[in-house]
Amino acid sequence: MANPILRQKLDAGEFIVVPGVQDMIATVVANKVGFDIVYGSGYWLTASALGLPDAGIATYTEMVDRMRTVVRTSNAAVIADGDTGYGGLLNVHHTVRGYEAAGVTAIQLEDQEFPKKCGHTPFKRCVPAVDMAEKIKVAVEARQDKNFLVIARTDARAGQGFDEAMRRLETYAEAGADILFFEAPQSEEEMRKACELFDLPMMANMSNGGKTPILPAKVLAEIGYALAIYPAMTSLVAAAAMERALRHLKAEGVSQSPDIPMSDFYEFCDLIGFQEVWDFEKRWAR
């Protein structure tokens, strides 16, 4: 069953900050901090699990399994990156049913050709808008829970310009999308114009290092966005921290430094569920 909290927050007009999680360590830390909704990013889950770029290489089977694990680990509702739906209309139907069965709360589908590419990298190509609209219609019809939401993303800005991206979003709204996602706007002005054009909830992508300006949540809310995802933050912070620690280890031969923050081991054991294991062993020890 989809978690109703996303629909409830959207209906209440509450701006939603949604951090990305690239693995289960990030997921349990998000649990600790107390986020209600998290984002399963195709880019970062592929990078962390497979060591591969977000270029349509990961399969549906790999990604739905990864999303299922995020849902199992997370206390929060999960918005899941569904790429292009992994093929044609039958694939989209199968993908939506699979992601819903995995327990995710919303699926993001994009209008790139398959295999897709990261939205902030070059050489993207989009399918005709009418083909994407059919995918949205299939996705909406395939879902079985009204709380499972369909997010329609367009990547047309890079190759076809702002106006074409807006035309596509209008088409996707008419096809039944619950949330619209204008990928990679290149200025705050474009972000404002897009939000002014649509009554449906708009999702912002605050991808560190991408083409879109990184703005505070209160500014995004004022612009007209309903929610924002932060897919890259935890991954880039973790990679930088690991590199710094590894460089220190290589140079000094010591694994600890007052300049390098490190989580407490036993606190992390508790986060990952060891206390339940220890309690079980105490009860059943022979």
Letter for the amino acid at 50? L
Dist. CA 108–CA 150, nearest whole Å: 6
Average pLDDT of span 259-282: 94
Question: For 191-207, how does the pLDDT look when each residue is reduced to its tens digit (9 = 90+)?
Answer: 999 999 999 999 999 99
Dist. CA 139–CA 128, nearest whole Å: 17
> Are the beta carbons of 111 and 154 closer than 8 angstroms?
yes
Question: For 45-80, how does the pLDDT look when each residue is reduced to its tens digit (9 = 90+)?
Answer: 999 999 999 888 899 999 999 999 999 999 999 999
Dist. CA 43–CA 118, nearest whole Å: 7
pLDDT of residue 21: 97
- Which CATH number is 5-238 given? 3.20.20.60
Residue 90's CB is within 10 A of a number of other CB atoms, namely 10
Helix, coil or strand: residue 246: helix
Average pLDDT of span 99-105: 98
pLDDT of residue 124: 79
> Are the beta carbons of 82 and 111 closer than 8 angstroms?
no
Arithmetic mean of pLDDT over the chain = 95
Copy the structure tokens of residue 136. 């949205």
Q: Global pTM?
A: 0.94
Question: For 4-20, how does the pLDDT look when each residue is reduced to its tens digit (9 = 90+)?
Answer: 999 999 999 999 999 99
Question: For 110-161, how does the pLDDT look when each residue is reduced to its tens digit (9 = 90+)?
Answer: 999 877 766 566 767 899 999 999 999 999 999 999 999 999 999 999 889 9
Q: Is the dihedral of CA 259, 275, 77, 156 positive or negative?
A: positive
pLDDT of residue 215: 98
Domain positions in the chain are 5-238
Q: What stretches of the chain adopt beta strand conformation (E)?
A: 16-21, 37-40, 77-81, 106-110, 149-154, 179-182, 202-205, 227-230
